[in-house]
Structure 1
Amino acid sequence: MDLLKDLYTNVISMDEANDIYENIRGDIDNGVYDSLLNNGKTIDLASLLGMDEYEYTAFCQGALFSIIAKWRYEGWPCKCCKH
């Protein structure tokens, strides 16, 4: 899966991207991905979504999937948007 690519190319909508994320989170809670546990402790959610660590960090800091998708394909900002 490449959530950001699918969103950027309009294969899915922003609402669908959020639903996919929530469904994966629910599946993790329900043990669906237990076979992917790293050292029996964690699951690489970024990889499940097709995101790299920078993209996932941006998401965890509050950036919307649509913004991160745009950054991936059109270029990341060269300064913090909060300044």
Structure 2
Amino acid sequence: MEESDLLDKLIHGKITSDEADDIGSAVLSDTSQTTPAHEILGLSQKEWTAYAHGADFEDVAYWRQHGWPYRCFVCGRKIDSDNFGWLAREFGGKIQLEHIACPKAG
């Protein structure tokens, strides 16, 4: 499968969210690939991690375009998304970031 930037296509309306999901599923189900799936899809390690945690491609595309969350939705303390140490979790109907070892998580 040819490499492309899935999120860029989504951001610019060249594909829909459903089409992005279909492309992602096709890449993940192709066992003949030797190139990592995130590289085929044009995702960074950070973007791929968020997707693996349950963020939709649409969520990740939004963060790429508008900036990543920088506060933990549980404790409100700063999260540096480039340094990982976070999980993508649904909160209030949308995907947010939470510290892996959040001091306020119960």
Alignment coverage as a number of residue pairs: 72
| Higher Rg of the two aligned structures | 2
How does the TM-score come out when normalised to structure 2? 0.62
CA contact (8 A) 2:5 2:42 kept: yes
Equivalent position of 2:28 in the other structure: 25
Normalized per residue, the structure richer in helix is 1
Unaligned runs of 5+ in 1: 37-42
How does the TM-score come out when normalised to structure 1? 0.78
**Alignment identity in percent?**
36
Q: Distance between the aligned counterparts of 1:69 and 1:82, measured in 2? A: 15
Runs of 4+ displaced beyond 4 Å? none
Q: Which has the higher contact order (CA 8 A, sep 6+)?
A: 1
Q: 1:26 offset after TM fit, Å?
A: 2.2
Unaligned runs of 5+ in 2: 73-95, 99-106
